Amino acid sequence: MTKDSESKESKNSKPGITIKKDDNFSEWYNQVILEQGAQLCDLRYGVQGFVVYRPWGYKLIKKLYDLLEEALENDNHEPFLFPVVIPEENLKKEEEHAGFTPEVFWVTEAGNQKIEKKLALRPTGETQLYPMYSLWIRSHKDLPFKKYQSRIMCYRNDMATRPFIRGREFCFFESHDVFQSHQDALSQIKTDMHIMDDVVWKKLFVPFTFFQRPKWDKFLGANDTYASDTLLPDGKRLQISSTHDLGQNFAKVFNVTFIDEDSKTKYGYQTCFGPGIIRIIAGIIAIHGDDKGLILPSSITPVEAVIVPIFFTDKKEENKKIDAYCKELQKKVSKAVYDDALDETPGFKYNKWELKGVPLRLEIGPKEVQEKTVTIARRADRKKITVKQAELSHAIQEQLKENDLAIQKKAEEYFKNNTKETKEFSDLKKMLAKHKGFIKVPWCSTEMDGKDCAEKLKAETQGATVCGEPYNQKEKASGKCIICQKTAKHLVYIAKTY
């Protein structure tokens, strides 16, 4: 079948998922996000790693931005917007951070002319923001200095692409803060973690674990990196946020200073926080979705309810009553869509909106019209109730809560008992082949002297990596490192990774 003939198929040729999530997660995921599924994106733009976000997918992205912007502004952050290009000398100024340059896209020509000083498309914001910070911050009275930029794109030449997971162009959100003391900076890192918990877990029900990354896997130029990792159904961990303790590293390079109360010039202590916009969406898709398609929490869904009329081809007068009743209901439910298409069957419509993950379906047939009732079907657990029309507004809110509760319970069940442990490398290899989750092991060091063990682990396990230590882990290590057999100083978590 050609692409043209596919696009001209009858509307009643039922779209849907043909692969079970448990049988082949990778193929299921592709079907959910692409044409036959929820139509979140399109890969046919013609440049590898550059994705077109279709309306339903971009509406989810916008909703997530809304949630994060509200959370950051409640924490006294202010928005700003910087250009997409960065002068080459800025990008290379911080010695360690200059390691980004192999991944950078460069602008070298304008029209027919060579650009004298080439420009980088933004891979991340530090080197474009901090030269301006050095101009804006003057006194301790300017601190804390808490800003963010949102709804921007970043660019890295990453060829291992996967929609909503990895790409060469990706939606970005970043906050960049400056403080008087290191303690203030560390306190902000804890606040960033609370924001992730409040937005991503409590509103979106995507479960995760916070890790302090090992030194060889920290952000370039940072003292330490703290990251949240979730697990996708294939057992691989997906990083969905990072927050970095930058210390005074960038401040010293870009002269981010302030006059303190003692009239002395001092360098600021900096942090940056980056929730992974498209990766959080990937977590929603992969963890909540089922064999019917997406399942969306109420906080991010573009549509709370779809009204589906049950028309009969041989009952025109009755159909008119159903249509009028549906239009009356739509006025009472502000975030509802009335699907009045006449050339689609009710079953087709059920399937279409289930694919998109709409939380509630309002079914209206002759019985509902006659009895002045509404049948409400929940997407998450597929349960139905019938309510009086007069009670509909209240019932919608209650059923959204029930739908969310079903999503949350399922996510909790999914994420619990996801960690096994071992002290033997031979056992670790066997576990990685079967266990879809984290594996806790004794480790020699999370400083740079532990990197050789990490490289051996990755080489001998087809890509397993050290996630790090859970933040505030109280359990102490004992015994020997699972790789080198030196005294273990840490208990780290191991997983396959995207």
Same domain, 101 and 215: yes
Q: Which pLDDT band, with edges at 50, 70 and 90, does 99 fall under?
A: confident
pLDDT at res. 315: 87
Say whether the peptide bond before residue 275 is cis (omega within 30 degrees of 0).
no
Same domain, 73 and 221: yes
Is residue 296, in this structure, part of any structural domain at all?
A: no
Q: Which pLDDT band, with edges at 50, 70 and 90, does 472 fall under?
A: confident
What's the rounded mean pLDDT across residues 490-495? 98
Euclidean distance between CA atoms 32 and 30, whole angstroms: 6
The tokens describing 334, both together, are: 């502000």
- Among 164, 148, 147, which residue's Cα sits nearest to residue 54? 164
Q: Which pLDDT band, with edges at 50, 70 and 90, does 12 fall under?
A: very low
What's the rounded mean pLDDT across residues 262-289? 98
137 pLDDT higher than 90: yes
Same domain, 222 and 118: yes
What's the rounded mean pLDDT across residues 274-287? 98
204 pLDDT higher than 50: yes
With b meaning 16 or more CB within 10 Å and e meaning fewer, what string describes 376-397? bbbbbeeeeeebebeebeebbe
Q: Where are the alpha helices (DSSP H) in 197-315?
A: 249-254, 277-283
Query: Is 57 within 8 Å of 163 (Cβ atoms)?
Result: no
Q: For residue 123, what is the domain's CATH number?
A: 3.30.930.10
The total number of residues shown for the chain amounts to: 498
pLDDT at res. 3: 38
pLDDT at res. 11: 45
Angle at 415 between CA 203 and CA 285, to 5 degrees: 55
Same domain, 451 and 393: no
Amino acid at 341: A
Last residue of one domain, picked from the residues 359, 381, 405:
405
Is residue 14, in this structure, part of any structural domain at all?
A: no
pLDDT at res. 8: 37
Last residue of one domain, picked from the residues 405, 434, 459:
405
What's the rounded mean pLDDT across residues 205-216? 98
What's the rounded mean pLDDT across residues 47-72? 97
Q: For residue 360, what is the domain's CATH number?
A: 3.40.50.800
Same domain, 385 and 423: no
pLDDT at res. 5: 34
Q: Which pLDDT band, with edges at 50, 70 and 90, does 101 fall under?
A: confident
**How many domains does the chain fold into?**
3
Same domain, 107 and 227: yes
Same domain, 423 and 397: no
Q: If DSSP codes are grouped into helix, strand and coil, which group holds residue 159? A: coil
Same domain, 49 and 100: yes
Amino acid at 282: A
The model's pTM is 0.95
Residues 427-446: pLDDT tens digits?
999 999 999 999 999 999 99
Same domain, 472 and 336: no
Is residue 486, in this structure, part of any structural domain at all?
A: yes
Residue percentage of the chain with pLDDT more than 90: 92
Is residue 297, in this structure, part of any structural domain at all?
A: no
Same domain, 91 and 225: yes
pLDDT at res. 159: 87
pLDDT at res. 345: 95
Collect all residues with Cβ–Cβ distance below 8 Å to 275 and sequence separation of at least 6. 68, 173, 195, 196, 199, 200, 240, 241
Q: Which pLDDT band, with edges at 50, 70 and 90, does 9 fall under?
A: very low
What's the rounded mean pLDDT across residues 364-375? 97
Lowest mean pLDDT: which of 131-140, 292-301, 306-315?
306-315
Q: For residue 460, what is the domain's CATH number?
A: 3.30.110.30
Same domain, 215 and 97: yes
Lowest mean pLDDT: which of 93-97, 133-137, 388-392?
93-97
10 pLDDT higher than 90: no
- Among 109, 63, 139, which residue's Cα sits nearest to residue 303? 63
Is residue 19, in this structure, part of any structural domain at all?
A: no
The tokens describing 150, both together, are: 């949102």
| DSSP state string for 19-70 | S-TTT-HHHHHHHHHSTTTT--EE-TTSSTT--EEPHHHHHHHHHHHHHHHH
Long-range contacts of 322-326 (CB under 8 A, 24+ apart): 322/364, 322/365, 322/366, 322/369, 325/364, 325/368, 325/369, 326/364
- Decide the pairing of beta strands 336-338 and 305-309: parallel
Provide the residue range defining the domain that includes 147: 37-288
Same domain, 180 and 283: yes
Is residue 8, in this structure, part of any structural domain at all?
A: no
Is residue 21, in this structure, part of any structural domain at all?
A: no
Is residue 253, in this structure, part of any structural domain at all?
A: yes
Last residue of one domain, picked from the residues 288, 320, 338:
288
Q: Which pLDDT band, with edges at 50, 70 and 90, does 14 fall under?
A: low
